[in-house]
Structure 1
Amino acid sequence: MTNTDDWEQVARRTVAHSLDCLLDDTASTIEPVADTVYWSHDVTPEQVDAMRQLAFELEYATEEYVARLCEETTPWDDDANRIVSRLPDSPNDT
C-alpha cells in the first residue's frame, strides 16, 4: 500500500473507529453518573476520575484527529476560542 489516498482512507477509518469507541465509553461512563446524580446519591471519586479521563480523551481525539480533517478549523490554543458551555454559571463565577 503506497498510494497516498489508501493511507488517507486507513487514517479516516482509524479515526472513525476511535470515535465509535469513545461513543461506547461515553455511554458506559456517563449513564451510571447520571443515574447516581438523579437519585441523589453521592458521586464517587472513581466516577469523577472516569469522567475526567473521558473528557480528556474526547478533547484529544477532537483536536488531534477530527480537527485536522477540517481545513477551516483553527487550533484550540486558549479558552477564548472555545465554545461557551450550555451549562449555567457556577455560583462561584459571580
Structure 2
Amino acid sequence: MDANIERFLDENHKIKIWPAKNQFKIAVLVYLSEKFETGVFYSEKEVNEIIKRWHTFEDFFLLRRGLIDMQFLKRASDGSKYWKNDSKISNI
C-alpha cells in the first residue's frame, strides 16, 4: 500500500476522505483499482458494490467516475460492462 494514502484510510483500510490534491486522488484511485480483478468483466452494479465495500463516505459515483476518467477502469460504450485497465495502472 502506498504510504501517501494511509491518512485517507480508516483502520479497516477503507477510503474515509477524498483527497483535495490531485496526486493523492490518483494514489487513492490506484489503491481502489487494485480491488478489481484482471480479466473480469463487471456490471455497473458489481462495480458499485466493490466501491461501496472500500469507502466510508457514501459517494461511489465520485469514485466510479474517477476510476473511469483516469482510465483505471474501462467501460463499454453502452455501459453494460466494466473491466480493469492494467496497462494504465502499470504506467503510474
TM-score, L = length of structure 1: 0.32
Bigger share in helix? 1
Name which structure has the greater RCO, CA cutoff 8 Å, separation 6+.
2
Bigger share in strand? 2
TM-score, L = length of structure 2: 0.33
Q: If you compute each CA radius of gyration, which structure gives the higher value, 1 or 2?
A: 1
